[in-house]
Structure 1
């Protein structure tokens, strides 16, 4: 056998394969080498959304060719609208600036709220580390609201939240509306850690929160510092090992209108806490980022890292599922009108 001839043939074959591959593939793979990706959060630092992103970062760095540095910028305001406006209108279209917000920015656009300067159908959604969850309404024990009867008869409960339009603000308002709370007031302007401190200090009486946040603050339950009252599962019927005994909010709905509002909240929430890129970001870089997100969710080490930081298991929404969930959101006019009032700063709508 002529080794030299065989080796030359092998080299020619390898060269032919390489030349047959799209040249852009190598250019885009090299693009992220030595670069920095900035994630613009539509929230303050320290909350569940921040921790969900941070759980993903080492895996994204692993799976994005070139292993870029990933940094964070926090741009709270308008339930994610401020960050989404920035990504849509001002962020570079180069694959180096991404947004991540709660589902409030999706709700704001669907509901046609003021301050929305972005088009959901033009933003490029790249997936979410969670889509299913449970929301729980609780009061601090010292408020004396120890059961549902007292919850519904106590007037003027102060319910704390991050900002008008934030997912937690919205669900707190839905809890208060369907649960028939008497003249509640809504206190906003907190980061999640600030809100928790305010609750324990008695500056507010109640909050709505997600199951992972409550799991990380399980001492509130162990030390009997809070009372749990109501829950809503997303999607409907999803069981929770710790909180499944709580009454489902939907059991208090009196009309189809109220049930449709709860269904709209569930559908909006199923979009998760999405990553998204500006319009006109090069397709090849979007493909690289989407593949990195998908590989992160499939990595066997990701659930452990996520649970360590967040306190709960991930329920990933893959990039293609995220895009589809956004496109298929229901936009029933009557339900949108009611939900819009719930998500706004004014009084709760009438239940009649």
Structure 2
């Protein structure tokens, strides 16, 4: 554990343990507006995530400020993250949300990255899942394996191979599928719109995005769910996603598909980036330099959201059935999301170069 992480964990623990009424009473956001900046478009899963939590946060922060979600898409979310890196604390009214598409370029040493996660202060984190789906015609050939899909030329709307789309792109290649990405979209919601218009024939959404839009395509018969990426149990084993228990996980589909292996270098690399990108996927940060009393106020507010009796059922229906972390838990989640082994990183860097001509070193 780094010294900076240790200090972050200690501060976050104090934020939970030391939430006394007099201390929190000193922070008052009455009449203020909190800007929660999301580095993606307003159509994707991160947008739904922030829009879900924003009014709940407003209810619990001292003074009940207005929490407004703003969007800053571009460069696979690195544009917004680079901007946030330059922001300095002023009055506690700036919050920033990241996703796997922000974490992955950081992990891969993408030259566009000018941000440092360890400088930021995590106050809340949640896990998520993801669902891959295909058009109805090709979906009729899906039998729980990818064996009947290998001769089909699929089109996929992608934000970029170094972001969260890395997980499905690598998974589909491991299954032996021919998926041609069209790079350049600004959010996963834009990928869903390409699919709806028939410009793409395969797509995936994070759980919130799937529940908020793609599930309607399945209900209408224009899309067929293929698999989820799965979830981790307490022993670190990939199991079915609890939000979609009737769908097979990628591990199950891989095991049923000729030539796909759930052990070895490729599997280990995929699993490492899956863990980084999903179980601790979405994280809310305050800027560097935010005073401890304001950090405490945010941690207390998110803790109040998490422990509200009706929260779990509400979250399950809106963003999925996944754990929520605050304080020290959020710091641990941020560390997990921004750490992979050198072996996994090297494998993915080589794959990106050979598959898409993406050179990061």
* TM-score (norm: length of structure 2): 0.79
The match for 1:233 among 230, 244, 253 is: 230
The verdict on how the C-alpha distance between 1:347 and 1:199 changes in structure 2, with shifts beyond 3 A counting, is same
- Which consecutive unaligned segments of at least 5 residues does structure 1 have? 1-20
**Match of residue 322, structure 1, among 322, 330, 352:** 330
Shift of 1:295: 1.3
Alpha-carbon offset, residue 344 of structure 1: 7.9
Query: How far apart are the structure 2 equivalents of 1:22 and 1:317?
Result: 20
- Size of the alignment, in residue pairs? 323
The match for 1:171 among 161, 167, 173 is: 167
Q: Which has the larger radius of gyration?
A: 1
Report if the CA contact (8 A) 1:145-1:151 is conserved. Answer: no
| CA gap 1:91/1:178 in 2 versus in 1, 3 angstroms | farther
Give the Å deviation of 1:348.
Answer: 7.7
Alignment match, 1:15 = none
How big is the alpha-carbon RMSD for the aligned residues of Structure 1 and Structure 2?
3.0
In the TM superposition, 1:241-260 aligns within 5 A as 241-245=244-248, 248=251, 251=255, 252-253=260-261, 255-260=263-268
Instruction: State the match for 1:140 in structure 2.
Output: 135
> C-alpha distance in 2, partners of 1:259/1:298?
37
Q: Distance in 1 between matches of 2:91 and 2:116?
A: 19
Q: Tell me the distance in 2 between the aligned counterparts of 1:123 and 1:335.
A: 25
Distance 1:250 1:294 in 2: 38
Aligned equivalents of 1:238, 1:318: Cα separation in 2: 25
Matches within 5 A, 1:91-102: 91-102=88-99
Where in structure 2 are the equivalents of 1:83-94 lying within 5 Å?
83-94=80-91
Compute the displacement of 1:343 (Å): 6.5
CA distance in 2, matches of 1:125, 1:59: 18
- Partner deviation per Cα, 1:233-268 (whole Å, 9 max, x = no partner): 132214445433455255323652112112212321
Q: Flag structure 2 segments of 5+ consecutive residues without an equivalent.
A: 1-18, 233-237
The alignment partner of 1:94 has SS state of: coil
Alignment-derived partner of residue 69 in structure 2: 72
CA distance in 2, matches of 1:222, 1:33: 44
The one-character-per-residue Cα deviations of 1:141-181 (angstroms, maximum 9, x if unpaired) are: 245773222321223x21113345432x2222122221122
Question: Which position in structure 1 is the counterpart of 2:13?
Answer: none
Give, in angstroms, the shift of residue 100 of structure 1. Answer: 0.7
Change (3 A) 1:103 1:344: farther
Query: Which of 33, 42, 46 pairs up with 2:30?
Result: 33
TM-score normalized with structure 1 length:
0.80
CA contact (8 A) 1:145 1:154 kept: no
SS in 1 for 2:224: strand
SS at 2:117 equivalent: coil
Q: Deviations along 1:169-204, whole A, 9 cap, x unmatched?
A: 222212222112236333431544432232122111
Distance in 1 of aligned mates of 2:240 and 2:315: 20
CA 1:162–1:28 in structure 2 vs 1: closer, same or farther (change >3 Å)?
A: farther
Q: Distance in 1 between matches of 2:73 and 2:350?
A: 21
Matching of residues 35-54 of structure 1 within 5 Å: 35-54=32-51
With 82-91 and 187-196 compared, the bigger mean Cα shift is at: 187-196
Q: What is the match of residue 116 of structure 1?
A: 113
